[in-house]
Amino acid sequence: MGKMRDKLKQYLKPGYYEKYDYHWGMTIDLDRCTGCEACVVACQAENNLPIVGEKRFKERREIKWLRVERYWEGEYPNIKLRFIPMLCQHCDQAPCETPCPVAATYHNQDGLNTQIYNRCIGTRTCAVYCPYEVRYFNWFTYKWDEPLEQQLNPDVTVREKGVMEKCTFCIQRIRQAKDHAKDDGRRRVRDGEVTPACVQSCPTKAMVFGDLNDPNSRVSKMYKNPRGYKVLEELNTLPKIVYLKKADSDV
């Protein structure tokens, strides 16, 4: 019985909170974000997102791991348009992880919500369960018109039809940084050494990425910003992306 109880405890409090090295997180400052969508292209370039074509857009089958949502507020002439970049929140209590029958999506030791493409059998349950709707399904096997395939990132798989895919926080870059750290004989990756493609490209520096286990990392400090909030926090999915809400002008 004691053993069972230990197992249960272990299950209720998974290790990635303190046991392992990293707990990757991100903040997005909506006061800086202009909705220019540079991040969207950066993501597409880095992660081999397919060029799906007009027809697929019409069918709403586009694949954009990171999309910018827009919301109008008010009516003309007192009208505002607000942008919010929406990407996988890497929830610590991810609703998408429980229902996958083959465990193709799970939390890894870095606190990332990961998707193993070649384990996926395409039940699409994760996409149904995801409240942020950031999981994208490969309805077809997409082709790149020659020679566009030459720009494909060799560090990222090209997904085939029937597979779910989503933001990985550019895990290939994390891997690269860890590799460099090991080469230098360091145990840990330095703050700022890993930047996902979207964060790297952001023209207003609205996004900050880093390790939440490190109290001195930039992202940990941004996490404490009083403007911070999490989208759909009431669902208790514990998303790891903190948005900093748009500030009021003090003029």
Q: Which of residues 165-194 bind another protein (CB under 8 A)?
A: 168, 171-172, 175, 179, 182-183
Nearer to another protein, 62 or 191 (CB): 62
d(C-alpha 41, C-alpha 106), whole Å = 27
Residue 148 vs 238, nearer CB to another protein? 148
Please name the amino acid found at residue 146: E
CB nearer to another protein: pick between 208 and 212: 208
Residue of 49, 76, 218 whose CA lies nearest to 137: 49
Q: Where are the alpha helices (DSSP H) in the chain?
A: 2-12, 38-46, 54-58, 125-129, 171-183, 197-201, 218-223
- CA distance linking residue 119 with residue 117, whole number of Å: 5
- Scanning 2-10, 120-128, 211-219 for contacts with another protein by CB under 8 A, the matching segment is 120-128
Q: Residues touching another protein: how many (CB under 8 A)?
A: 128
Residues 97-116 that bind another protein (CB under 8 A): 98-103, 106, 108-109, 112, 114, 116
- If the CB atoms of residues 78 and 216 are measured against another protein, the closer one turns out to be 78
Look-up of token digits 């900093």: 244
76 binds another protein (CB under 8 A): yes
Give yes or no for a contact between 23 and 133, defined as CB atoms under 8 angstroms apart.
no
Question: Which of 62, 191, 193, 214: binder of another protein (CB under 8 A)?
Answer: 62
